[in-house]
Structure 1
Amino acid sequence: MTAQLVSPRAAHARNLRENEEAVECSLCLKNFTKPKILPCFHSFCLKCLQDYVETNAHNQKFACPLCACECVIPSSGVDELQTNFYIKAAQTKLKIAANSPCEVCDDGSRAERSCIECEQNLCTNCSRGHLKMKSSRDHHLVSLTEKSHAGEGQVTSKSFCEKHKGDELSFYCRKCSVPICLRCKVTVHEQHTTEDLADVAAEIRVLLMDMLKGAQGMLPKFHSHLNDITFYNDHLEKEREKLKDEIISQTKKLHEKVDDLCRKMMADVEDEYCVEVARLGTRRHMISDRTTSFSTQLHSANQVVCYGSDADIAWNRDNLAEQLQKMASLVTPSDMIHLKMDFIPSDDVTSAGVGDLIGALKKIRDPTENFKVEEFSAFSVDNSFKAVNSVCPADDGSAWIALGWTADAHLFYRHGVKVKTQVVSRTIDCIGRDGETLIMSSNEQKVVGKPGPGFNLDDFATFPGYNPRGLAVTPNGDVLICLAQSAAFQDYRPNHRNKVVRLNSAGKMINEYGADGKLFMYPLRVAVNVNGDICVSDCRKQKVIIVKKTGELKTEYNGSPGEEERRFEPRGIACDARGHIFVADGAGHAIHMLDHTGRFMRHVVTEDQGLFGPYSVAVDRDDYLWVGCRDADIKVYKLNWT
């Protein structure tokens, strides 16, 4: 089934409508069931929150799924978190028909309120009696009519003294900064300055409303950033077509011999814009998530400040003020970095050399985005001294890990918690993923397979005379496999014809790269970039070799500039959604970052940061860099792009 495409503007408008209504849980995307509100004002279904905390909690704390604000798990579990009665009130009002009668008395009075706990509609008199009864005095009543003025919200409830269980909190002690009942006022707080709780709550509301207005001023800035991304995306499309038209117009003046130069230049334009659009999509996703998070925060904060009970407002004054201050001073994303390209036609097509007949593309790309690397976790897969051959991230913050040609596939969360170990029917060299299906190469058994029932490896493809090593799955489901005629790169011989092959999803051969033995010496690992380039680490040739999908050599990388004398041993290789290429340098104890053209950008992490013997590398969809090292060690780093 073909997915329906939604324009960025339409998706943005839909998100805003959903956020304003705040009727859906952000985890299950369904109407709230037993909604719980976190200290950051974000709300989720109880069951959704329990499932999320079970997977992501650490040291009795968890990060909010929307804004990553750290939350403490109550002693008795997630169920103890505060219920969001404001959402339950909205749901109640949607279910009740207009002019519904009171369900308690028999005189036909119109229902003015509904009890959330009892799910009963009540008239005005019955509402008063309901809040006086011992069994229901702390229930929450939602108004079925519009609120009359600020402070009389859609939810009414009473709060009672913990010491004097039957006495309502109606006073506020200025010295102790707590709500108190009448008996507390004339006993423990007799010598303290006290005031009516309603008056103090009104005073606090005025203060918090000013802070809420300051926080609301941040939302247009997020919307502005999203609009900038949309306009820039449109600009990219127009400029791309403009450049193509200029190139085609100029090439019509030239001889047939320059047609090949034209095609190469067009491919260069597509290459640059493909990477730029991928980077733009990643940024749009980040800004959209932040906007959604902030908008739902504002909605919940507005409900708490405007409609919270007097006692809740008084009890939580400091927490509310602190959170709103944080929201008002939130740092918005930095300005985007733009790609600029111009086509410069040749002035003289009669006397210019063949290479200069058409002209040249002028590329101006701003410096690298602000980029910071933070170590997130470090752990050992087991107590062996084996190297981590392969790391294959999943979509839930976990990754499959294979150690030095064993038959075990280990699943770990990124913070080091082990999920399980599966014993595969054959030894594993490299693990890849096609959607939800794993695919593995077995060097010793000379086969590539997919785990079936019992994790037995069902044959996907066999290669007589070759040892399958690294593999990667392309976005359209093709499988790229490194093939070598020796089990280890130390056994390479000049007459070997080592290569990389492309198979379709059914295991049928589509293409071979380097079958003549000239392109590669020992292709160890392979990755696919966002523009379709095939990136291969050749540890025997000591180079990273980048080949276009057609098989044409694009470039070779043999180590960072200025370190030519230092041995470069590329092992693991991975690509991210922005077009960057990450290379594990086993001899240099470093992770190199290249741009999509194979140009060195920087070392992401080095031996100075405690990295030793990296063998494998992977980047998950949340921008966490997984590095597999010697001695069964894993290091995980957060790549922070702003």
Structure 2
Amino acid sequence: MNSQYKAQDVIRCDLCDTDIPHMYCDICHINLCKACVMEHLSDESKDHKLVSFNKRGSTINCPKCQRHSNKICELHCNQCNLPICTLCVSSGDHEQHTKIDVLEHLRNRKDVIEKDLKELKESIYPKFQEAASKIPIHRSGVRKNSKELTEALKKQADALHAEIEIIVKDMQSKINDMDAQHLAEIDKQEEALNQSINDISQVILDLQKLLDSNDVSLVSEYTSKNGKFESLPVQVHVYLPAFIPQKINKKQIHKQFGILLKQVITYPTGQLVETQVIATEERVGLTKTSGGMSITISDEPQILTEINTEFGGWFIRLHSVSSLSDEEIWTSGNDKIMKLFNLQGELIKSIQTESGNKVMDIAVTRGGNLVYTDYKDKSINIVTDEQIQQLVRLQGWKPYGICCTSSDDLLVIMDSDDRKETKVVRYSGATDKQCLQLDEQGQPLFPSVTSFDYRYLTENRNLDVCVADNSNHAVVVVNALGKLRFRYTGPPSSKEVFHPRGIATDSQGRILTADSDSSLIHIVDQDGHFLCFVDNCGLQRPWGLCVDSNDNLLVAEYKTGKVKKVKCYQ
């Protein structure tokens, strides 16, 4: 048995297993007493290296040659990445290869190991520890959120119950009022009948007396009163109230009660695998790989449909398009009218702003309701069943672009009245939940300019907020926490000034933005790397953008007033 597995209180010679070892063979890894040293050295089939027992393990353990088993490797071949002996060298197999001393190779590898060890200790391990330390926080957050959801459900249920109680109490009060009115009429009828009965009873008594009387004068004076009683007192006819219960519409109740949004679990994207895009490739649809995902962009985008919105011309330009479904789209321009079209170009309906002011931008909620911003009125509005309701009236700020997120929040970009500040605000209904304005260094994410200019925004599938900031010639992308991820200012090879207008994202997280001045659509991956242009399908001054459920691009042309449905991907 090897000495390292024996009881640790007494270490013995591995040959005789009796005496305490004084020597150690660093090649054979054997403990030796003085009496067994010569016996061990007598084995000349292998090399030996004897050291005192206290210095065991100090000798460099060079490997044995795989081809010449009786030789120790003193060199290392870099090309073969193998230890080699002198016989290997003399055989000529490694003649053209770079060879270094095995000890130098050992030092080099130990340097690498030391570097890796340092990185593991100082960087990697603490990072994993930090991530692990956040797990209880995340778990606590889930439980806290679940508790808040439960409380919100109970609050909503209590509110619904309260509304039902109010309805029941109101109806019960009306029943009580009707009962009181009905009973009062019955009491009056009873009183009239009782009075008539008393009168009739008295007449009967009087007639009975006349029959028993022989007084000619009294009998001759009798006049019949039966005609007075031929008709009953006026009878009150009351149609009793009734309750007609309506069939309970569970779907409608569920819709009125609220919507439980699904959780969104995101993972950081993989390491970007970049493919070089040279100038001649910028205008063709090569397959590019980003984050491990292969995407194919068509080199010949096709216009599938054209819709004439009746916007356009010199005075009423088309600005925005938003998809209600794959068959219907909302549109707006620098006018007070918003129009809903089907893809056959038929006008479904028109809505005028409540204030009569021009529309700044439009979006469609997940529930299918139209929302719009009114710059002059400083308001955010929602259209439900063709009724306009003001959600938010801003104080000191004027809204530009608006979009609806995957969680049905509203993102609105706005300028201060003096145009010195710009921010993006997230709203849940009429409640502001988040403000994105400054980066981690306290600098503006969206530097303001003194002149008026349009700004549009959208949310990507990884919950990034993407802003087309034409004033600063950039698409600014921040994550859900408001941390700046990147600024895209156009492809590296382009010398043209970038003028981003409308912006949209597709199902793969690609960002599409319209450069109206150059009549181009830029397609960028979710990490800000330019992929290609859409510029060869006859688009004229593209402005507003949106994407349907099949990743077809809907483009609002500023001057022509047309919405074009474009197939960009294969």
Q: TM-score, normalised to structure 1's length?
A: 0.42
- Larger Cα-atom Rg: 2
Using structure 2 for the length normalisation, give the TM-score: 0.47
